Amino acid sequence: MPRRKMEMEDLSPLGKYKEGMEWNPVEKVIYERRSIRSFKKEPLPDSMIRRILEAGRFAPSAGNQQPWKFLVVNNPEILAEMEQDAIRMAKKMMFFLDNSRSGFRKKYFSWYTKLMIRMLPNELHPVPFSLLKLIAEGKARVFHGAPTLVLLLQDKRGVSCPPLDMGICGQHMVLTAHSMGAGSCWIGLVKLLFYYPKWKKLFDIKWPYECNECIALGWPKGDFDGEVKREMQLVTWYEGGMDSPPRIERQGG
């Protein structure tokens, strides 16, 4: 991945390619975006939020089905209650699932933890599991104090793979936010809230919709996390015809 930070005047023009050229503005936005986990209290202007939503609305989707709906939450009282309830749920989950807290629990309840991990393999993957633990211990926040949350509702009837459409749609918003100087963070842990029927009721989330992701938006505060390393990828190139072995090339790293 190119690393050098550049000024706008260094950028290559869009729609042109020359080997070794500097980033163009789209690449600059992609490479310089970071997840922001600390926000100023003051929200983004509504006009800016609308522009970010518009980039999501314009995202491609399988069969142009646009299997999404967006909810914008910027009321401090609702945001505070969302944070509290998400923390409450993280604590509950840790109470039942974290068997590392005592030898007794480890001995007699590890079967239960294993069963739950089998049932919710993505939610209880070690990465979100350790974040849940930090949240339950009061060492991390769920929504990072963002003054605005955009909840992404997915229409389960979308063709092909609606979660993929949702990812593309949300990433349009995230990149647009960064291009305008705003900070954003995907919050998959928003799912914690929907174990409480009250939130589905408040946001009127009914079949065929469900909410699996949200995007925190606001003005970044302070220094944000440095670059998060990406793995080097071994990419297989099939370029020599049907009888030639493919060539493996290192990408990035």
Ligand X SMILES: Cc1cc2nc3c(=O)[nH]c(=O)nc-3n(C[C@H](O)[C@H](O)[C@H](O)COP(=O)(O)O)c2cc1C
Asked if 83 is part of the footprint of ligand X (rule: CB under 6 A), the reply reads: no
CB distance 231 to 213 below 8 Å: no
Asked if 65 is part of the footprint of ligand X (rule: CB under 6 A), the reply reads: no
Strands in the chain per DSSP E: 68-73, 148-155, 183-187, 209-218, 233-237, 247-251
Asked if 172 is part of the footprint of ligand X (rule: CB under 6 A), the reply reads: no
Asked if 187 is part of the footprint of ligand X (rule: CB under 6 A), the reply reads: yes
Min. distance of Cβ 34 from ligand X in angstroms? 4
Asked if 252 is part of the footprint of ligand X (rule: CB under 6 A), the reply reads: no
How far, in Å, CA of 236 to CA of 240, rounded? 12
What is the rounded end-to-end Cα distance, in angstroms, of the chain?
Answer: 8
* Token pair recorded at residue 25: 């503005």
Asked if 150 is part of the footprint of ligand X (rule: CB under 6 A), the reply reads: no
Three-state SS at 207: coil
Q: Quick one: 35 or 66, whose CB is closer to ligand X?
A: 35
Asked if 38 is part of the footprint of ligand X (rule: CB under 6 A), the reply reads: no
How far, in Å, CA of 105 to CA of 160, rounded? 42
User: Quick one: which of 12, 27, 30, 35 contacts ligand X (CB under 6 A)?
Assistant: 35
From the list 12-20, 45-53, 109-117, 179-187, the region that binds ligand X by CB under 6 A is 179-187
Where on the chain is the footprint of ligand X (CB under 6 A)?
A: 34-35, 37, 185-189, 213, 225, 228
